[in-house]
Structure 1
Amino acid sequence: MELAQLGQYIGAGLACIGMAGAAIGVGNVAGNYLAGALRNPSAAGGQTAMLFIGMAFAEALGIFSFLVALLLLFAV
């Protein structure tokens, strides 16, 4: 195995750490929304849009790290 190919695999594995961070971020956003909705159910409807925006931003970082990992693996 060449050293450059080994570097690609290590770099792709390190880039995948961002996907784990995105999963933690989405769980944090959803958990905080649920905690707030249980404390004040009448305000939960107004915060649903912010829930989806927060999840989208957190998930976008995971998608970017996935793309970086794919580029490291399959780019020439």
Structure 2
Amino acid sequence: MKKFSLIAGLTGLFTLGLAAVAMAADAGAMAEAAKLFAATVTAAGFGIGIAAFGTGIGQGIAIKGAVEGTARNPEASGKITVTMLIGLAMVESLCIYALVISLILLYAYPMAAPVAKFLGMS
């Protein structure tokens, strides 16, 4: 328990130290960071929108094919349904990957630029 308290305390001190660095940034760096954040939000929005649009079309085509296959051969509906669900999971995973990339863009990159500029790394 003592080890956890020590780690939690050091994490809190580290977080407070970074907050002081972020608050000390000049107005120019913050304006540039705001523009970068706006561009990142726009890119993430367009990316997830396009991915969801493509996923919706792909899933619609897959369901259409499964329904047509079941209508032609009702005895095979169990196998068709299982295959369709596996295919839908594969198609949906592409949209989930786009969501992960969008979240990485939103939460990881924009905060690195003002801190790097403030520290003189860029």
| Secondary structure, aligned partner of 1:44 | helix
Equivalent residue in structure 2 for 1:60, among 72, 85, 93:
93
Larger Rg: 2
TM-score normalised over the length of structure 1: 0.85
Identity of aligned residues (%): 32
Contact 1:18 1:61 survives alignment (8 Å): yes
TM-score normalised over the length of structure 2: 0.56
Match of 2:51 in 1: 18
Cα deviation, residue 67, structure 1: 1.0
Match of 1:32 in 2: 65
- Give the total of aligned pairs: 76
* Residue 106 of structure 2 corresponds to residue 73 of structure 1: yes
The aligned amino acid for 2:35 is: L
Aligned counterparts of 1:27 and 1:56: Cα–Cα separation in 2: 13
Aligned counterparts of 2:35 and 2:79: Cα–Cα separation in 1: 54
* Residue 4 of structure 2 corresponds to residue 4 of structure 1: no
Q: What is the alpha-carbon root mean square deviation over aligned residues?
A: 1.5
Q: Which runs of 4+ in 1 moved over 3 A?
A: none
Give structure 1 stretches of 5+ with no counterpart: none
The aligned amino acid for 1:64 is: Y
Give structure 2 stretches of 5+ with no counterpart: 1-30, 110-122
Cα deviation, residue 6, structure 1: 1.8
Aligned counterparts of 1:66 and 1:24: Cα–Cα separation in 2: 17
